[in-house]
Amino acid sequence: MSAGFTKRLGRELHELNTHPAVGIHVFQADEYRIWLIDIQVMDNNPIYAGKTFRLQFRFSNQYPIEAPEVQFVASRDRPIPIHPHIYSNGHICLDVLGTGWSPIQTVSSVSMSIQSMLAGNDRNERPRDDARYVATAPISPKQTRFVYHDDNV
């Protein structure tokens, strides 16, 4: 592991633990490879009211030059949110996780982008191609070449 990689993630983890954004909480970050972040939508969106969702961040040694792998993971009390850009396997179609990535992004800023994406949603539905995508999707969402064409949700 490169020193820059661990130093950057150490700073980000410290910031998340000492000054978390509202509705964003570090559930687990035992190492510099996989973090679990819980998020809540902090407005009156009836689709997500009272629910908490869990994001999994996987980091390569190339972080922050390379985007982390980010997806929702389900647990007993943490469902994968229903949203037109979130597949039922937890993969997220969001440009900041792919072609829109910049090294200035952080775990916190990505989490807030996803939180905002959920807050702005008014359609309680999965992507139109959910069944097909999930049946053929790679394990890593980073191996999918998403087409970003609908920024209305």
Give Cβ neighbours of residue 112 (< 8 Å, ≥ 6 apart): 21, 24
Res. 17: pLDDT tops 80: yes
Residue 85 confidence (pLDDT): 96
Residue 129 confidence (pLDDT): 93
Q: Does a structural domain hold residue 152?
A: no
Q: Does a structural domain hold residue 71?
A: yes
Q: Does a structural domain hold residue 148?
A: no
Q: Do the beta carbons of residue 127 and residue 144 sit within 8 Å? A: no
Q: Which of 93, 110, 114, 118 is catalytic?
A: 93
Give the CATH number of the domain where residue 83 resides.
3.10.110.10
Burial annotation 93-132 (CB, 10 A radius, 16+ → b, else e): bbebbbeebeeebbbbebbbbbbebbbebeeeebbeebee
Q: Does a structural domain hold residue 31?
A: yes
pLDDT in tens, 53-97: 999 999 999 999 999 999 999 988 999 999 999 999 999 999 999
Q: Does a structural domain hold residue 150?
A: no
Residue 147 confidence (pLDDT): 72
Q: Do the beta carbons of residue 128 and residue 81 sit within 8 Å? A: no
**pTM of this structure:** 0.92
Note if 150 is an active site residue.
no
pLDDT in tens, 39-57: 999 888 999 999 999 999 9
Domain containing 105 equals 3-143
Res. 144: pLDDT tops 70: yes
For the chain, what is the domain count?
1
Q: Do the beta carbons of residue 96 and residue 105 sit within 8 Å? A: yes
Q: Does a structural domain hold residue 151?
A: no
Q: Does a structural domain hold residue 62?
A: yes
Q: Does a structural domain hold residue 92?
A: yes
pLDDT in tens, 84-141: 999 999 999 999 999 999 999 999 999 999 999 999 999 999 999 999 999 999 999 9
